[in-house]
Amino acid sequence: MCHQTVSLVARHLEEQGIPTVIMGCAKDIVEHCGVPRFLFSDFPLGNSAGRPLDAKSQAQTLELALRVLESAPAARTTVQSPQRWNGAASWKRDYLDLTKLSPDSIAERRKEFDEVKTIARTKREGS
């Protein structure tokens, strides 16, 4: 679900008395929507809950989000996660820059992505 939709739903829930915290990677969009509590992870889009296949990262993200939910000092509070994507900020420049990859590299990455999706689907259907 997109950051804007989640943010607008959170605002509606808050108006109904239901506390929310948004976990997201698109700081500009979420802050523009004016959500009460926001845990910002400086990760590529689609990774708001932590690093893929990294249960420890995901558990830490959830724990921090729950702390933000219970202790945000004021409306429109943004807390930045201390986690880093890969230790270097260069991923922001390189992320999804297909001009730096050969057609074979793109095909290999697509194959890996499809394999991860298949694993996730299998796990989801099995639970």
Model confidence over 14-37: pLDDT tens digits? 999 999 999 999 999 999 999 999
pTM score of the predicted model: 0.74
29 and 55 belong to one structural domain: yes
Residue 45: DSSP 8-state: T
Task: Give the angle 35-36-42 at the CA atoms, nearest 5°.
Answer: 65
Domain identity same for 65 and 13: yes
Specify whether 82 is located in the same domain as 105: no
**Domain carrying residue 40:** 3-86
Residues 72 and 116 in one domain: no
Residue 95 has pLDDT above 80, yes or no: no
If you average pLDDT over every residue of the chain, what do you get?
Answer: 90
81 in a domain, yes or no? Answer: yes
Flag whether 101 is in a domain: yes
Q: Considering the domain boundaries, does residue 92 fall inside one?
A: no
Based on the structure, what is the number of domains in the chain? Answer: 2
Residue 75 sits in the same domain as residue 112? no
Q: Is residue 91 part of a domain?
A: no
The answer on 101 and 44 residing in a single domain is no
Six-digit token string for 58: 């995901």
Residues 81 and 112 in one domain: no
pLDDT of residue 24: 95
CB atoms within 10 A of CB 83: 17
Chain centroid offset of residue 100 CA: 25
Report the SS3 class of residue 78. Answer: strand
